[in-house]
Amino acid sequence: MSQPTDVETTGRYLVLLDDKSVAAGAREMNRVAGISAASTAESATRAELAAADGVIFQDLGVAVVNATPDQVQQLTRAAEAPGPIAVVEAERVVHAYTAPPATGTDEAAAVDESVFTWGLQAVGANISSATGKGVRVAVLDTGFTVAHPDFAGRAVITQSFITGETVDDAHGHGTHCIGSAAGPRKAASGGPGYGVAFEAEIYAGKVLSNRGSGTDSGILAGIEWAIANNCAVVSMSLGAAVRPGTPHSQIFEQAATRAMAKGTLIIAAAGNESNRPGKVAPVGHPANCPSILAVGAVDVNRAIAIFSCGTADTIGQVDIVGPGVDVYSSWNKEDGGLGMHKRIQGTSMATPHVAGVAALVAEKHNARGWELWARLSQAARRLGLPSTDVGAGLVQSP
């Protein structure tokens, strides 16, 4: 069994099924381990899902199941033999990526932010003719503050994957990320414009609770929802830290390649566990998967952020970077003199900048999937920094 080490888990398991015959995989789980899972393709009711041993995300070919140690052993044996069960992994607990507040002077003060945030200026969104119109962007996070005045009149599709919680964002992290990716160029508050793809169609998926935590299955449910809604871009500022040398998730890698095949690019934060220059932590889960675009963070001076994870070994790498220090965006409540806005930092903030630019590129070039990834990489601004820290460079708008 492929299983993460030194990672908080839920006690459930992810099972990768043969995408050519998911039904055969479901039958095999039942045959070898007596596990009965309900499929999302069958429009199962909540009661049916509750009665089942797990759920199968049909479009991804992944099952999430409750299993005893004996059942896990049977599934693992089946995965080691030829057949429709490919991989078994323990389900991880994931969190919204956060970084400590910046110390010292206000770094963004080095740039005039009276009209646009330094982040929009750094990625060239303020001078781009693209707006993201017609492109669907899914942000999987802590939800969204649906009553935020800056989004009045915007069509925002919402879905909560957290049991017992509405999509409304009591945390703030999700609202901040949505703001950077697709918020306004002219804020109702009169503050600077902060949204990259300000005319993109927003899909807000709540996969993290109001406390900022969630599970692999919640992320997978959000990814499947985004694919079903033909989202060109999925932005995920979340994950779990890993030790150097920890293998990436084969299940998330397959989910990402299957999403790509359907025209959906997944973009994820690299993580904030570094403390540069002394410590460079490896890219976290699930951004360390080869088919997920991993995003690091730079500051207003185009220097790598001290917290930004890097390419520490042969597993996982930073693919591109975005503005991630002292980032102004929407928030879920009044914050001092900033109204319903806040400045925070992290690779979480860099990721929606990249997702927003991806939406602009998707609109201008009608690019999807691997072509979209390639265009983002080719157009990135070289920074004269190691590729292990910044990948292709700073993302740039078309």
Distance from C-alpha of 398 to C-alpha of 361, rounded to nearest angstrom = 6
Per residue in 271-298, pLDDT (tens digit) is 999 999 999 999 999 999 999 999 999 9
Distances (CA, A) of 66 to 12, 52, 53: 5, 9, 6
Catalytic residues: 141, 173, 348
Per residue in 113-157, pLDDT (tens digit) is 999 999 999 999 999 999 999 999 999 999 999 999 999 999 899
29 pLDDT higher than 90: yes
44 pLDDT higher than 60: no
pLDDT at 5: 46
Do 131 and 360 contact (CB within 8 A), yes or no? yes
Residue owning tokens 């069960």: 85
Buried b (16+ CB within 10 A) or exposed e, 274-306: beeeeebbbbbbbbbbebbbbbbbbbbebebbb
368 pLDDT higher than 90: yes
Per residue in 58-87, pLDDT (tens digit) is 999 999 999 999 999 999 999 999 999 999
CB atoms within 10 A of CB 121: 18
Residue owning tokens 């900048």: 353
pLDDT at 334: 85
Distance from C-alpha of 252 to C-alpha of 287, rounded to nearest angstrom = 9
Averaged confidence pLDDT in the chain: 92
107 pLDDT higher than 60: no
Distance from C-alpha of 32 to C-alpha of 318, rounded to nearest angstrom = 40
Distance from C-alpha of 92 to C-alpha of 391, rounded to nearest angstrom = 27
Distance from C-alpha of 328 to C-alpha of 117, rounded to nearest angstrom = 7
The CB-side HSE value for 272 (13 A sphere, CA atoms) comes to 21
pLDDT at 50: 56
Distance from C-alpha of 321 to C-alpha of 300, rounded to nearest angstrom = 12
Closest C-alpha to 264, from 288, 293, 297, 296:
293
Per residue in 168-199, pLDDT (tens digit) is 999 999 999 999 999 999 887 788 999 999 99
Q: Which helix (H) or strand (E) covers residue 199, if one does?
A: none
List strand residue ranges (DSSP E) for 68-135, in order. Answer: 85-96
Per residue in 294-332, pLDDT (tens digit) is 999 999 999 999 999 999 888 899 999 999 999 999 999
For the chain, percent of residues with pLDDT exceeding 70: 94
* Average pLDDT, integer, range 251-265: 97
- Domains annotated for the chain, with CATH where assigned, are 9-92 (3.30.70), 97-390 (3.40.50.200)
2 pLDDT higher than 50: no
